[in-house]
Structures are given as C-alpha cells and as structure tokens.
Structure 1
Amino acid sequence: MAADTSTTADDRPVDLDTGDDLDAFLATHDVALVEFYTKGCTLCQSVEPVLGTVATATDVAVATVNPRTDLSLVEAYGVRSVPTLVLFVDGAPVDRLAEGFVGVERVLELIRTHAPERVPEDGTA
C-alpha cells in the first residue's frame, strides 16, 4: 500500500509497506509518529489503539510499518525490538520509544517535547 500523501494528519494510522512508502509519508508530513512492528507481536497489537487515539487527538500524522517487508528499515532506523515508535520532525528522527507497551500519555509526552503545538492544550487525548 502506498503512503497517504495528504498534508494534514489523518484520523487513524496509515499502513506503509516499504521504505519508499515511509519516505513519501515523511516528505508530506512535517511531524510524524511511526510504529515499527511485526505481525504476531502482541505488544505491537496492544499499541494499535494508542496510536489511533494519538492520531485522532493530535495534529501528528501516524503510520505503521513492518520492517520485515523491507529489511533496510531495520538498519536505517535502528530497530532492535518491536514495537518501536519513532517521532520524526521535518523528515528526521528526533526521538523514540522502544520500551514495549506505552500508553497514550507517554506518547503525548514524547510529542510535547518536540512539537508541543501539535498536542491539545488541555493535555488529554
């Protein structure tokens, strides 16, 4: 599946297939959160609702990509475990969470650190 090329954040995560899809996604969104996951990973599955909430509650584009479909992503983004969430600003990775399950507030905290204007002022999702 090709990347969504809209210039605003979507209300739900976009599924990407390859590094080219990821590059296109990052080129069209100035702030993006990407989950690197693998099929069958129960922790990855448990993060899916968190990503949906973040996509809906913030002005941040959210995507998911399975690095097993494009192994170059593992090295390019230093994916050592899944799920790994990487926050990109202007196409460059600026921070990551690779600690297993993370809740909405932890992800919002990550975004607030690098793009506070993208998180609602009331601080809730």
Structure 2
Amino acid sequence: MSSTESVPTEPIQLTDAADFDDLVADHAVVLVDFYADWCGPCQMMEPTIESIAAETDAAVVKVDVDVHQALASQYGVQGIPTLLVFANGELAERMVGAQTEQALTQTVAGYTA
C-alpha cells in the first residue's frame, strides 16, 4: 500500500481501462466517479469531487462511462453519477446520484481513519 504522501490531490482521469485495477490497488482508499460530460448532476458534483481529492487521504479516479462502457458495465453502473469507494482494493461502498460534499467526505473518512 502507498503512503498518504503519494495520494494525488487532483482527480485522476482514467485514460486506459487496463490501468483501473492498478489504480485501485495502489492506494488504500479510492473514490471512483463514474460520470459523463453530458450529465448535469455529474457536472454539479465536479467541485465536490475535486475537493475530496484535495482534502482527503483518498485517491479519486474519474471514469467516463461513454469511453469506458465495459468497465461501467463490469461494476453494474446503470445511473450516473455512480460513486464507488474501494478500501484496500475491495469495493466497500456504492452511491448512485449526486451526493453532498459532507456525505462523501464522511463516507471516505470512514475508510481513511
């Protein structure tokens, strides 16, 4: 597991689906944001997602469902935004729909504490 010093302070845009498992494995806690550019609630969540990346010990990975349809399907994403929390490489939480910054911060904090 990586130390918290290596946790990026900005969201990581997934460019290659083959990197997904490594990203999840490389960090103790990872928040994955399945989104689409055309999704209004996803756009509303953007400042919150950036804040979580900057202010928590969780790595944040953004997955565009239009680009990575197979990955979205693999994780059962049927509505966006879908937010998954991975702790120690295992799926720990699933949230569908826009979330408040407080709710997301509390969820992530439960795994980074």
The TM-score with structure 2 as length reference comes to: 0.87
- Residue matched to 1:108: 105
Unaligned segments of structure 2, at least 5 residues: none
Superposition map of 1:45-124 within 5 A: 45-98=43-96, 100-113=97-110, 115-117=111-113
* Structure 1 runs (4+) greater than 3 angstroms displaced: none
CA apart distance, 1:7: 7.1
Code of the aligned partner of 1:68: D
The sequence identity of aligned pairs, in percent, is: 30
Cα 1:7–1:67 shift into 2, 3 Å: farther
Tell me, in whole angstroms, the C-alpha distance in 2 between the residues paired with 1:43 and 1:54. Answer: 17
Higher relative contact order (CA 8 A, sep 6+): 2
Tell me, in whole angstroms, the C-alpha distance in 2 between the residues paired with 1:89 and 1:116. Answer: 8
The TM-score with structure 1 as length reference comes to: 0.79
Cα 1:68–1:18 shift into 2, 3 Å: farther
Tell me, in whole angstroms, the C-alpha distance in 1 between the residues paired with 2:17 and 2:88. Answer: 16
- Equivalent residues of 1:18, 1:65 under 8 A apart: no
- Equivalent residues of 2:58, 2:112 under 8 A apart: no
Code of the aligned partner of 1:13: P
- Residue matched to 2:41: 43
Tell me, in whole angstroms, the C-alpha distance in 1 between the residues paired with 2:43 and 2:19. Answer: 21
- Equivalent residues of 1:13, 1:55 under 8 A apart: yes
Cα 1:24–1:68 shift into 2, 3 Å: same
Paired residues in the alignment total 110
Unaligned segments of structure 1, at least 5 residues: 1-5, 118-125
